[in-house]
Amino acid sequence: MSQFALNECLLLASSDATANPLAAPIDLALWTLVVFLGLMFVLGKYAWKPIIEGLNAREKGIADNIESAARAQEEAASSLKAYEAKMAGAHDEAAALIAEARSDAAAAKEKLMAEANEEANRTRQKALADVEAAKSAAVRELAESSVDSAVSLASNIVGRSLKKEDHAKLIEESVKRFAGS
């Protein structure tokens, strides 16, 4: 590989005169200028302008869409809130209704019970009074009849008729005696 002389080769190569990396031919430069300016004009008019307009329009459209979506969301949220409030109100109302109904029922029950009690009491009192009255009437009647019979028996036995005063006095005494027994 000693004959493989890279250095020599490079030396040979570097003497090559065509290779001028800084070569800048004027015609290529002018051509570049014309092509670039022409391209800029054509693209500016038929490409960049409509592209930028289109992009801006789309950007605006997207921004508008987002805004209206946000607005719709806000509206939805507020109506949901209102609905929820309404629901909560209805719930409370229902609870109040139930509570009211319950208390009404309780009151009605109370009232009915009281009335029934009263009625029962009254019936009992009346029955007691009736019994009392009947008892005293019976006692009186018994006393009167027994006095009468006793008087008639006695007058029959005694043979004389008692005076009116003696008669009343006798009844009184026998009633007392009867009641005391």
Residues forming the site for other proteins (CB under 8 A): 1-6, 9, 12-19, 21-29, 31-33, 35-40, 42-44, 46-55, 57-58, 61
* Shortest Å, Cβ 62 to other proteins: 10
Of residues 19 and 157, the one with the C-beta less far from other proteins: 19
In whole angstroms, how far apart are CA 9 and each of 1, 3, 17?
Answer: 14, 11, 15
* Shortest Å, Cβ 64 to other proteins: 13
Of residues 20 and 181, the one with the C-beta less far from other proteins: 20
Of residues 18 and 181, the one with the C-beta less far from other proteins: 18
* Shortest Å, Cβ 90 to other proteins: 45
Supply the DSSP string of 112-146, one letter for each residue: HHHHHHHHHHHHHHHHHHHHHHHHHHHHHHHHHHH
| Alpha helices, DSSP H, located in 15-162 | 26-43, 49-158
Residues 6+ apart with CB under 8 A from 167: 151
Of residues 59 and 75, the one with the C-beta less far from other proteins: 59
The single-letter code of the amino acid at 17 is A
* Shortest Å, Cβ 77 to other proteins: 28
